[in-house]
Each structure stands twice: as structure tokens, then as C-alpha cells.
Structure 1
Amino acid sequence: MRVLRLTPFFHHDCVTEWPAEFDAVGGMQVQILHLSRELAGRGVEQQVMTVGFPGLPRTRTDRPGLVVRVTRAPLPRLRSELTGLVGLNQAWLAAVLTSSVPLRRRWRPDLIHVHADGQLWALLAGPLVSRITGAPYCLTLHCSRLAVYEPMSRFDRFQHRLVHAVERYALRHARRVSTLTSRTADTVARVLPMDRARIDVLPDSVGAVRPVPASVADGFVRELGVPDGVPVVGWVGRVAHEKGWRDFVAMAARWDDLSGAPGAVFLVVGDGPQSGRMREAVAAAGLADRFVFTGFLPHDAVPSVMTALDVLVMPSAHEELGGSALEAMVCGTPVAGYAVGGLRDTVGGVTPSLLVERGDVDALARAAGHAVTEARAHRKAVDAALPDLLAAYGDDTTDRALEHYQRALGPEAEGGAGWRP
């Protein structure tokens, strides 16, 4: 089977530094890399067309059966607080269309797999490249405008209805659709409407993330500058508007008054288009001595970070599933956050009392503080949920993806932009 994977989001773990303006790494990038490698190990031949940054090879063989191509048209380095660089994803789509033309002769895919995050450009890629290559496409909604996505700026609100319509079109003409949660699958099927049987649920996988010995985790965060003997409240992921960093800083400012917990240090792991603004907000609030910023860390550092935290906080505006929450809980760490999207299912199924209404910063401070002061009870709940978490978000995600491809290419498959609309 040959699969052409189209995504502006892909983790290049061959580097130790990642320029934030080139869409700093987050859970979606890591998940797509993990899935691609697992499928290559099962004999699925893949080419990935994705965004890269200066210093990366234009084409590299990640492993047998998996070729990664940095596919991006030239563009000026004008900063954007949403995508890192102005026009980054547009430049990716333009290069994808150009690069797809010779594939029909040299490497014709059996199936195109598009990974969409609620933005316009990836949604357009499936129908357009399908027409160019003659191959059908399947579409994964890592974040859906129809179900979860919240506009992130005035311009985003202005274009919301347009992208909403494009998502509908892309879904209707996909050979098959997958979502990260049953909640989104049910919503998409109802809103379109679409036969629910055409939608598979393919959740993210925690992969190899497991807790490390406490001494190793503690030693790791001490080297990052976290002092000993104080609670560690964590933020892990892209520093971007939709992840709610402003509410995280506001919560930190109210911690001593509302949390009921001892004075904490706030560890921010990750980078993103608004990392500079976050640092400025922390300084303006007089909290610089309470925050530790690590910037980008390789993904293999995640188990040490998650194990060392007393609580992970996720004040996201929208969250399709919440991969960081899964990784934290697999490492035995409770998660506090807003009751949005998939967090209602992942965190809500383990420690529901730690989820609060979106935007209620005071309640968030109290919930995170409770995770610290009542650590034994919350960690007991997390530990009890571990078998179910591994069953739902373990390695069988690869098996589900293979079944998804087989259904898309099977004789019972219907629709698809490779067909007549």
C-alpha cells in the first residue's frame, strides 16, 4: 500500500532546536510522526509532504518505507502570532500542489491521507491533490470547525464561515473520515449529515511515554532550574492563543490567594508564536521569579517532565482530545483544566472535579491547588485509570489506522474527491 501523507504538522525529531516561527512542535506533530513510523513498520510505504525550516534536508528517508519531504514555497519571514510565519501554510499548499504533479507518473499513491486542524489550507489539500494524482483521500480531523474549533482572532472569526463550508466539502468528498473522539464523530455525522459508519475514531496514542523513576524526573527538572521542595505546576505544549496561556499566567498570579496550596513554581515546557508575549505577561505580573521557561525540548524529555509535575494545567480554548493530558496521566500526574472538547472525556473520565468552566480562572486555580493539596486521592484515581487509558490510547491505534485504510480502499468504499463530486 502506498500512502501520500499531507500535513503542515510533523515532528522532525532529528533536531535539538526548533525555530518557533516555523510552527513550534505540539502534540499533533508528534502523533503524526509516531503513526507514520508505526505504519512503515507494518509495510505501508509512505511519503510525507510537510513544512520544515532552514537546516533540515529537503528530502530524507526516516526509515525504510517512510520518506519525509520538506514541501514549502519560498516566503518572507514575517512573523504571525497564529501560524508562526505569515503565509506558512499557504506556502506549504502551493508547494504540495506543484510537487504532486509528477507523482502520478513516478510514485502514484493508492491513498492520500490529509491531516486537518481546522485551518483552510490542509482542508483544501485533499480535494485538490486527489484530482491531480487520481487517488482518493481520507481526512483526519485533529480539530473540527463543525465540532470543537473556536476562532482565534478577528480575522479568524471573519473567515470562520468560509472554512466551515470548506470543511463540509472536504468531508463529503473524502473516501473516509476519521476523528480523535466519538464526540466529534457524532457531531460531524449529525451536522453534515453523513452516514456515521463512514467515520472511524482513531484517537492519539501515548506511544512509549511512561513514568520514569522519581529521582530521575526530579534531577531532570532541577537541571532546568526548578527549585527543590516546592510544588511544580506545569504547562506543556505550544505557546499559542488557543492553548490559553493568558489564563495560565492569570491563574499563577492568583495562586497564593486562591489555590490553598503552598507557593509553587510554574514550569512552561514548549515554544510557540506567542512565547514572547507570555514571557512579557509574566514579567508584567511580577512573576518572573516563579516561572521557569524551557523553550523547545525533545519529545523524549516528556516522561521526565510529566513525572516531575505535581499537576499539569490545560486552560485551552478548544482541545480535540488533549494528548498532553493523556501523557501526564499515563505518568501518574493529575490534570486540571477547562471542560472543553476531548478533555471532558479524557480528564473528565479520571478526575472530573479538576475540570472547570472555560474562562473561570479562579476555579482553575482552586482545582489545580486541590490537585496539589489532595495529591494522594487524585494520584490514586489516575493510577486506577491507567489500564483503561492504555487500552484506549495504546499501540492498537496503528491497527485501527490500517483498518481505516483498508475500508477506504475496499470495494464497499463510497464517495471521495477522486470520484465525481
Structure 2
Amino acid sequence: MDPVSVAAFTDTYLPTVNGVTYTIQTWRDRWRERGGTMRVVYPASGEYDPEEGEYPLRSLPFPMYDGFRLGTPHIPAAVKDVDVVHAHTPFAVGLGGVRLARRKDLPLVMSYHTPTAEYADYLTSRPRVERGIERLAERYEKWFLSRADAVVCPSEDARDHVAERIDPQTAAVVVSNGVDVEFFAPTDPTPFRERHGLPEGPLVGYTGRHGYEKNLSEFLRAADGLDATVVLGGDGPARDRLESLAADLDVDARFLGFLPREELPAFYSALDAFVFPSPVETQGLVALEANACGTPVVAVDAGALSNTVREGLTGYHYAHGDVDGCRDAIERVLDEQSALSASCLKRREELSVDRAVDELSSLYERVVADRRVAKTA
């Protein structure tokens, strides 16, 4: 039997590069390989030509968050004949998914990729306004998630967050985003190092969005005086400030800008340690990608990273805000790099996206069956 057909609604997609985009792309590709249909509805940017099965909607830039666009809650005609609706984000395009599920009486699955309330302090510097935004965000998330037949959380931490702060009655299940372990594998980093002019010696780094919420300034301060070169891939609104901070510190920092996806395995393989100081992750997909390439991770002991990185096996943690602790963790990973790398490689199959899609398939089949039973009751 062919997999159920799915309409995926998302407020963030290409050309924006982030964990949500990669997850949707990878799940869609795996679904196609299994003979299924997964159509993607997303905000148009004018900078990306849609592939078959991708349906861009009219959109406007969001002034307070660079790279994010506000789409419309429109439902393309081509996605109305599906078995399941999957909303990956809770904003305008995601609301279109809710509308489709309600109009067609279809099962609705939602993904909890991002705790929106955690981003309030990046929209305002006024504490009272920030608290108000957080309360509104949590009330809205509770309303949104309550519409779902199932909520997909990429980690136990995200599931617990939904239960404790959003709605304990939500039918939340853990399904990892998964890593394409065929693509993210140990790679000879020599050509990458030469291409980007990286020096000999230890490299510690990060790739991803340079957003203020990623807390990358903590990494740079921890690297002050460290006997290693800092390598930062990616871009975002905090980049200029980060470059200025690195110049003020005793840090040999190389800002590589956006890295094409095909370069990422070599980037991870070139690093001796991947440093991830973001306290707002619901899984931390780049940490798992680094592990799949044999690179241990230094992670803040907050959010999903507390569990995504296994202490003493795939890396080490430090307390949020503890710059000295971050530096100590980096040095410890560098000292134990060989053993930690071997431990990371032993875990590769656990990270596989194919395992994640198996679980996703079972979930889709369950919500479709439950809806059919409900209709005949």
C-alpha cells in the first residue's frame, strides 16, 4: 500500500536555510522515495524557483526578524485532495493548513519546531512588553496546538515544554527530525580547509543562523585566548555585531558566510569541536549532523541540547551564561577529541532520518485510521 498523501504547510522554507527547511525537504524526499506524495505550501520570496509539488504563496517581509516572510493563509487547489494535513509552523501559512483540515474534515498533525515565546526578547528590549508578548505567544500556541490530532515534537524536552507550558492535554509524540546519515558522514576536510584558507591546528566552530537567540557571543567570549581558530558558517542579523566582538577579543575568527549544503559534511569534518550555545533549541539538528560526521559538540545545558548531546559520549555541556564553563568544555572536548569522535560514529544509525520517517509514517496512518473510525461512529 502506498503511503498516505500529505499537504505540508510551513511559514519558513527555501531560500531561507534552517532546521525546519531541511527537515521538511528531507522528509518530503524520503516520502517520494517510498512512493508517497507530500506537497509543500510556503511563502514565496521571489528568490527561489519552486520544484514540482511546491506551492509558493504571496508574502511580505517581516520587519522585526530578518529572513522571515509573512505568507497568506491561502489553500492552493492542488493540495486539497490529500489524506493528512501537516502544519509545521503556527503563523499565517500554518493557519491555512488548519483551515484545510477543518474544511475537508482531514486529520491535522502539527510540528512543534520552535517555542515562539522564547523569541520575545529579540522583538523588544522592554521587560514588561517582553513578558506580555510571551504570555500572548503561549496562549496562541495553546489555541493552535489544541486543533491538532497529534503534535510532533523533535525531542523529549520539546514534548515536556508543550505539556508543561502550553497544554497538558495535547497529544504530543516524539519524532526526531532525523539526519541523512548517507550525506552527513566523515569527509576528507583538506579541500575545504584549503578553499577557505583555514590554518593548521584545532578548529572550533558553528554553522547556522546568526540570530541573537543563538547566543553566539557567548561562544566568542569563551574562545578568547583559546589555542584554536573559530570558524563560523552561516549568516543572520547578529553577524555584524559578532564580527565586531571577535575583533575586540583575542579570537582568530573566520566568518565564512552561507555555506552550500554540499559543503556541510566537509565543514563538520574539519572541526575538532562544534560549539552550540543556543538555549532555545527544540532539538538542535546541526549538533546531530556534526555528530554524524564524527565531530563532538560543546552544548549549553539548556533546552533540547541537554539531551541531544550525550555527556561524555558525543560531547560536553556547560551552564548557560558560564563563559568559563564553555571554555573548559571546549578544552575538554579538544583533549578527548579522538575518543569522542569514535563514540559519535557509533551512534550514527540512531540518528537516521529513515528511522524518523518510519515513525512519522506510523503516526500518519494512525491519525487517518482514527478519523475514519470517528466518521463512522
Query: When the two structures are superposed, what TM-score results if normalisation uses the length of structure 1?
Result: 0.78
In structure 2, relative to structure 1, the CA distance for the partners of 1:286 and 1:184 (3 Å cut) is closer
Displacement of 1:177 after TM fit? 1.4
Task: Establish whether residue 84 from structure 1 lines up as the match of residue 55 from structure 2.
Answer: no
Give the alignment partner of residue 364 of structure 2, picking from 399, 405, 413. Answer: 405
Counterpart Cα distance in 1 of 2:244 and 2:214: 17
| Aligned-partner residue type, residue 72 of structure 1 | R
Task: Establish whether residue 348 from structure 1 lines up as the match of residue 301 from structure 2.
Answer: no
- State the partner residue of 1:7: 10
Residue deviations 1:28-82 (CA, integer Å, cap 9, x gap): 211111001111222222221113433422x431xxxxx1122233x3x6754x3
- State the partner residue of 1:135: 106
Gap regions ≥5 residues in structure 1: 13-23, 62-66, 257-262
- State the partner residue of 2:87: 114
Displacement of 1:341 after TM fit? 1.7
Secondary structure of 2:88's partner? strand
Task: Establish whether residue 28 from structure 1 lines up as the match of residue 20 from structure 2.
Answer: yes
Counterpart Cα distance in 1 of 2:243 and 2:279: 20
Secondary structure of 1:60's partner? coil
Secondary structure of 2:111's partner? strand
Counterpart Cα distance in 2 of 1:358 and 1:150: 16
- State the partner residue of 1:72: 58
- State the partner residue of 1:17: none
Query: Does the 8 Å CA contact 1:115/1:122 hold for their aligned counterparts?
Result: no
Counterpart Cα distance in 2 of 1:305 and 1:158: 40
Task: Establish whether residue 221 from structure 1 lines up as the match of residue 193 from structure 2.
Answer: yes
Counterpart Cα distance in 2 of 1:140 and 1:320: 11
**% identity of equivalent residues:** 24
Task: Establish whether residue 269 from structure 1 lines up as the match of residue 269 from structure 2.
Answer: no
Give the alignment partner of residue 194 of structure 1, picking from 169, 174, 177. Answer: 169
Give the alignment partner of residue 51 of structure 2, picking from 33, 57, 60. Answer: 60
| Aligned-partner residue type, residue 8 of structure 1 | D
Give the alignment partner of residue 140 of structure 2, picking from 166, 191, 211. Answer: 166
Displacement of 1:359 after TM fit? 1.0
In structure 2, relative to structure 1, the CA distance for the partners of 1:123 and 1:361 (3 Å cut) is farther
| Aligned-partner residue type, residue 222 of structure 1 | E
Greater mean alpha carbon deviation, residues 28-37 or residues 390-399: 390-399
Counterpart Cα distance in 2 of 1:107 and 1:395: 27
Cα-Cα RMSD: 2.8
Secondary structure of 1:31's partner? helix
- State the partner residue of 1:260: none
Counterpart Cα distance in 1 of 2:241 and 2:290: 26
| Aligned-partner residue type, residue 108 of structure 1 | D
In structure 2, relative to structure 1, the CA distance for the partners of 1:284 and 1:193 (3 Å cut) is same
In structure 2, relative to structure 1, the CA distance for the partners of 1:341 and 1:218 (3 Å cut) is same
| Aligned-partner residue type, residue 6 of structure 2 | V
In the alignment of these two chains, the number of paired residues is 365
Task: Establish whether residue 252 from structure 1 lines up as the match of residue 207 from structure 2.
Answer: no
| Aligned-partner residue type, residue 244 of structure 2 | E
- State the partner residue of 1:209: 183
In structure 2, relative to structure 1, the CA distance for the partners of 1:358 and 1:220 (3 Å cut) is same
Counterpart Cα distance in 2 of 1:168 and 1:121: 16
Query: Does the 8 Å CA contact 1:123/1:167 hold for their aligned counterparts?
Result: no
Give the alignment partner of residue 211 of structure 2, picking from 216, 236, 240. Answer: 240
- State the partner residue of 1:374: 336
Counterpart Cα distance in 2 of 1:338 and 1:414: 45
Secondary structure of 2:206's partner? strand
Displacement of 1:382 after TM fit? 2.9
| Aligned-partner residue type, residue 280 of structure 2 | H
Displacement of 1:410 after TM fit? 1.0
Counterpart Cα distance in 1 of 2:62 and 2:20: 24
Give the alignment partner of residue 310 of structure 1, picking from 263, 266, 272. Answer: 272
Displacement of 1:293 after TM fit? 1.4
Displacement of 1:350 after TM fit? 4.8
Displacement of 1:315 after TM fit? 0.5
| Aligned-partner residue type, residue 45 of structure 2 | F
| Aligned-partner residue type, residue 54 of structure 2 | V
Residue deviations 1:104-142 (CA, integer Å, cap 9, x gap): xx84332211113xx654664443343455533210111
Greater mean alpha carbon deviation, residues 44-53 or residues 234-243: 44-53
Counterpart Cα distance in 2 of 1:301 and 1:414: 48
In structure 2, relative to structure 1, the CA distance for the partners of 1:137 and 1:414 (3 Å cut) is farther
Counterpart Cα distance in 1 of 2:332 and 2:312: 15
| Aligned-partner residue type, residue 71 of structure 1 | L
Give the alignment partner of residue 151 of structure 1, picking from 102, 120, 125. Answer: 120
Give the alignment partner of residue 33 of structure 2, picking from 22, 34, 41. Answer: 41
Secondary structure of 1:348's partner? coil
Counterpart Cα distance in 2 of 1:301 and 1:373: 26
| Aligned-partner residue type, residue 3 of structure 1 | V
Secondary structure of 2:120's partner? coil
| Aligned-partner residue type, residue 113 of structure 2 | H
Give the alignment partner of residue 176 of structure 1, picking from 150, 153, 162. Answer: 150
Counterpart Cα distance in 2 of 1:224 and 1:370: 26
- State the partner residue of 1:395: 354
Counterpart Cα distance in 1 of 2:153 and 2:19: 15
